[in-house]
Structure 1
Amino acid sequence: IHLYDFGLLPPEGHRELAEVRPQVENAFAAAWRGEAEVDGFNELVLRAGLTWRQIVVLRAYAKYLRQTGSAFSQRYVEQTFIAHPELAALLLRLFEIKFMPFGYDGDERAQRSDDVKG
């Protein structure tokens, strides 16, 4: 299979393609290589400007919800984040503050976490 030319026009409500071009290219390549799932969460590359690796975290949250017996389907969670990309970005930011092993000591981490929670 040869792919010579590829065009993409984002629907209304998405970020400008030039703004998220690297994320789109990386997400497409990761999906092509089988490293990333192909589902509705990927729309968050355009809606929230997230990377495909950040989207993996949100997808994991959705799958965890299902395992805990939540009535919310993965599709419902996808649609909710797509409709409210700022919430997806905030949840991801909270995850990064709490679990990334660099950047913050305990007090600063707690303060930043509280700031994100609002």
Structure 2
Amino acid sequence: IHLYDFGLLPPEGHRELAEVRPQVENAFAAAWRGEAEVDGFNELVLLAGLTWRQVVVLRAYAKYLRQTGNVFSQRYLESTFTAYPEIAVLLVKLFETRFSPALQVGEVERARRAAEIRD
């Protein structure tokens, strides 16, 4: 039998742990199963209240930027998003507004909502 006991000390300026408990548990389980990477982007689960799948979107953005020749490292982007979690939330909202099949609206409405987020 192996017993693992983990504790969690939230960073300064964190959300209430009760608010994000399900997201933290799901993110931890996804990382444990190998479904999610273990890196600095995961701090956004606590800091921004994002789900681990939403964090994957930001990680994909970072990897895409590197492929296009952007000079910023993944570590730099992680630290930028964790310093400004509200920007991370807006980018995820923009992505979901533009591409989520769960959003049952037409293209004109999607474009209007996306413009609202960008402003």
Q: Give me the TM-score of the superposition, normalised by structure 1.
A: 0.95
Residue 26 of structure 2 aligns with an amino acid whose one-letter code is N
In structure 1, what is the equivalent of residue 88 of structure 2? 88
Moved more, 6-15 or 33-42: 6-15
In structure 1, what is the equivalent of residue 111 of structure 2? 110
Q: Give me the TM-score of the superposition, normalised by structure 2.
A: 0.95
Deviation at 1:2, TM superposition (A): 2.1
Q: Deviations over 1:78-98 (max 9, x none)?
A: 001000000000000000011
In structure 2, what is the equivalent of residue 44 of structure 1? 44
1:33 aligns with 2:33: yes
In structure 2, what is the equivalent of residue 73 of structure 1? 73
In structure 1, what is the equivalent of residue 15 of structure 2? 15
Q: Separation in 2 of the partners of 1:69 and 1:49? A: 30
> How many residues are treated as equivalent by the alignment?
118
Q: Secondary structure in 1 aligned to 2:23? A: helix
Q: Separation in 1 of the partners of 2:11 and 2:88? A: 19
Q: Secondary structure in 1 aligned to 2:80? A: helix
Q: Let me know the Cα RMSD of the aligned residues.
A: 1.1
Residue 7 of structure 2 aligns with an amino acid whose one-letter code is G
Gaps of 5+ in 1: none
Residue 39 of structure 1 aligns with an amino acid whose one-letter code is D
Residue 85 of structure 2 aligns with an amino acid whose one-letter code is P
The alignment-based identity, stated in percent, is 76
